[in-house]
Amino acid sequence: MTIKVYEENGTSVIAPEGKIDHVTVEEFEAKITELGNANDSLILDMAGVEYVSSAALRAILNANDLMEGKSGLVIRNVNNKVMEILRITGFAGYLDIR
Domain ranges of the chain: 2-97
Classify 7 as helix, strand or coil.
Answer: strand
Amino acid 10 reads G
DSSP 91: G
Phi-psi region of 29 (alpha: psi -120 to 50; beta: other; left: phi over 0): alpha
Confidence of residue 73 (pLDDT cuts 50, 70, 90): very high
Q: Are strands 2-8 and 41-45 parallel, antiparallel or unpaired?
A: unpaired
Give domain 2-97's CATH superfamily: STAS domain (3.30.750.24)
Average pLDDT, the chain: 96
pLDDT single digits (tens) 19-59: 999 999 999 999 999 999 999 999 999 999 999 999 999 99
Q: Which amino acid is at 49?
A: V
* Per-residue pLDDT, 74: 98
Question: In angstroms, rounded to a whole number, what is the distance separating the alpha carbons of residues 38 and 43?
Answer: 13
